[in-house]
C-alpha cells in the first residue's frame, strides 16, 4: 500500500481540484448502491412530479434548455 499526500484544497490549482473530483467520482460510481441520497432529494422529486401532474411545470427539449441557459448567462 502506498500513501499519497494531498495538499489542502485551498492550496490546489483549479486543474488539481478537477483531477481530485474526477478521481473521487471514479471510485464512488463503482458501487452506486453505497451512496445514499439525502432525504431532501426525494422531497424535490416529489414536488417536481406534483408540478408536472398539476400542469404548473412542463418538460422542455434540450435545445430549449440550452437556449434558455445561453440567454441567462450573456
Written as nine digits, the cell of 68 is: 434558455
Which residues does 59 contact at the CB level (< 8 Å), separation at least 6? Answer: 52
Q: Residues of the chain with pLDDT > 90: what percent?
A: 84
Is the predicted pLDDT of residue 36 greater than 70, yes or no?
A: yes
pTM (2 d.p.): 0.49
d(CA 48, CA 55): 10
Quote the pLDDT of residue 3: 63
d(CA 18, CA 23): 9
Within its chain, how far is the Cα of 66 from the centroid? 17
Q: Residues of the chain with pLDDT > 70: what percent?
A: 96
Element holding 69 (H helix, E strand) = helix 62-72
**Averaged pLDDT, 14-39:** 93
Q: How confident is the model at residue 4 (pLDDT cuts 50, 70, 90)?
A: confident
Amino acid at each position: 500500500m502506498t500513501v499519497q499526500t494531498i495538499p489542502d484544497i485551498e492550496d490546489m490549482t483549479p486543474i488539481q481540484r478537477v483531477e481530485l473530483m474526477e478521481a473521487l467520482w471514479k471510485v464512488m460510481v463503482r458501487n452506486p448502491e453505497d451512496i445514499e441520497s439525502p432525504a431532501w432529494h426525494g422531497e424535490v422529486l416529489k414536488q417536481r412530479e406534483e408540478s408536472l401532474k398539476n400542469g404548473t411545470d412542463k418538460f422542455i427539449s434540450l435545445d430549449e434548455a440550452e437556449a434558455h441557459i445561453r440567454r441567462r448567462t450573456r
